[in-house]
Amino acid sequence: MSNPYLVNPGRRRALAVGGGFAALAGLPGAVLADGVRQDPPAKAAAGGGKALPEYAAWKDADAMVVHSANTIELRREDFGHSTITPSNRLYVRNNLNPPSADIVKDPDAWSLEVSGVARPGSLTVADLKRLGLTAVTMVLQCSGNGRAWFPHKPSGTQWTVGAAGCVVFAGVPVKDVVKALGGVAGGMKYMTSTGGEILPEGVDPNTVRVERSVPVEAMEDAVLAWELNGAALPLAHGGPLRLIVPGYMGVNNIKYIRHLAFTAEQSPAKIQQSSYRFYPVGEKGSDKYPSIWEMPVNSWITSPYEPGKPQPAGRVVLSGVAMGGFHALKEVEVSLDGGQTWKAADSFGPDMGRYAWRTFALAVDLKPGKYQIATRATNDKGDAQPKERQDNNRGYNNNSWLDHSIELEVV
């Protein structure tokens, strides 16, 4: 049987990298985590934009902005009003290139190692399916969503709002797996997971490995998922098996997970120790700064959103999405005047729980003129979106209501 970790030789591409990474030949395209360098541009599409990469060719091309082969976001005007983001409109962000698509051909055969429990061992997805079943609706969001608005131009993808979606993951609760293996071993403070990406040879694995630790308490709501929105989890989103940590930023939801470990310390990987840390502009990341874990409260208008096209005067229904982040959403307000005055908006559609976002709407009567439409969400903990983003070197966690506001011209 072929090794699922081996990249299809026919798809290997020459690397054009600076620095000391000439030894990485054999790895297709971008391989380094967290902005060490940009992904190679995807092939230009006929219309001038970039084409979807093959592993994500099933995405709705018209609704997506392809930044690179590993960074694809949803257009603001294509979020819809149905709470759930269709899988073919869910953003893609990979720290390393995905493994071969061979790994999703027989999902049940995928094997997961579990350690830091009373009885460590290996379980296939088929084994996991016999332990338990749950589903969680949650916002999946890249830590750098909204990065485009930071004035210091942080390195990394210049996402606006589209590196986020609200989706349903189904799989087995992590706590059911832990229970079947005798419980978490003593002294373990973190849940540490390792992705199934192919690592380059000749470099210290810790500099490239996709391995993240979250506080062990996160296991309470965590899921080992094999299903996304009712169908088998696609490779582009971490199939055959992904760790889902509801309420935590995207990077913590490890794709093609091959090792789930309960550990006393956080992972020594660079992506844990110094990348994905919240630290001042101009500084170097390190473990003295907070890790990018819990999502903040956030919201944005999604319709009407037709830049450059004025709306006719009269009644307009403003609508968008609002999330409480790690805590449940409490309320969302809308301003027509750039934050001078606010009105409460109504949530509509299904309430899918603490980790989901909600769609909201406010019908207003607009006279001709220019409006700056802002939205401000507040969660159950009392956190409200701030006016200004909180500057940080890598441009993470932007939930500024001012940055997310839009201009609307009415004629």
Cβ proximity to its own copies: between 11 and 130 the closer is 130
Give whichever of 134 and 206 is closer to its own copies, judged by the CB atom.
134
Burial of residue 303, with CB atoms counted within 10 A of its CB: 0-12 exposed, 13-18 middle, 19 or more buried: middle
Q: Kindly state the smallest distance separating residue 70's Cβ from its own copies, in Å.
A: 23
CB of 361: closest distance to its own copies in angstroms? 5
What minimum distance in Å lies between the beta carbon of 317 and its own copies?
Answer: 5
Q: Based on CB atoms, which residue is closest to its own copies, 3 or 122? A: 122
- Segment lying near its own copies (by CB under 8 A), choices 29-37, 165-173, 332-340, 375-383: 165-173
Q: By CB under 8 A, which span of 13-21, 252-260, 322-330, 343-351 interacts with its own copies?
A: 343-351
Residues 63-92 that bind its own copies (CB under 8 A): 63, 78-87, 89
How many residues sit in the footprint of its own copies (CB under 8 A)?
44
Contact positions with its own copies (CB under 8 A) in 230-289: 230-231
SS3 content of the chain, % helix, strand, coil (to 5): 15, 30, 55
Taking residue 25's Cβ as centre, other Cβ atoms within 10 Å add up to 14
Whichever of 24 and 63 has its CB closer to its own copies, that residue is 63
How near is the Cβ of 179 to its own copies at its closest, in Å? 12
Q: What's phi and psi for 101, nearest 5 deg?
A: -65, -10
Q: How far apart are CA 94 and CA 74, in angstroms?
A: 15
**Nearest-approach distance from CB 124 to its own copies, in angstroms:** 12
Q: Which amino acid is at 172?
A: V
* Contact criterion met (CB below 8 Å) for 66 and 42: yes
Of 23 and 135, CB closest to its own copies: 135
Asked if 238 and 62 touch (Cβ cutoff 8 Å), the reply is no
Three-state SS across 226-247?
Answer: EEECCEECCHHHCCCCEEECCC
> Can you name the residues that pair with 101 across neighbouring β-strands?
none
Is the Cα dihedral 390, 395, 400, 405 positive or negative? positive
Which positions from 102 to 131 touch its own copies by CB under 8 A, shown as an x/- string? ---------------------------xxx
**Structural tokens at position 366:** 């607009």
Name the residue nearer to its own copies (CB basis): 180 or 261. Answer: 180
Residue 410 contacts its own copies per CB under 8 A = no
Give the shortest CB-366-to-its own copies separation in angstroms: 10
Check binding of 294 to its own copies (CB under 8 A): no
Q: Which long-range contacts (CB under 8 A, 24 or more apart) does 120-125 make?
A: 120/181, 121/181, 123/177, 125/226, 125/240, 125/241
Q: With contact defined as beta carbons under 8 Å apart, do 113 and 258 qualify?
A: yes
Under DSSP, is residue 26 helix (H, G, I), strand (E, B) or coil? Answer: coil
**Is residue 23 involved in binding its own copies (CB under 8 A)?**
no
Tokens 């009644």 belong to 315
Tell which one of 183, 349, 368, 369 touches its own copies (CB under 8 A).
Answer: 349
Q: Compare residues 41 and 350 and give the one whose CB is closer to its own copies.
A: 350
From 183, 280, 307, 314, residue interacting with its own copies (rule: CB under 8 A):
314
Which stretches of the chain bind its own copies, using CB under 8 A? 60, 63, 78-87, 89, 129-137, 168-170, 227-231, 314-317, 319, 348-350, 352-353, 356, 359, 361, 363
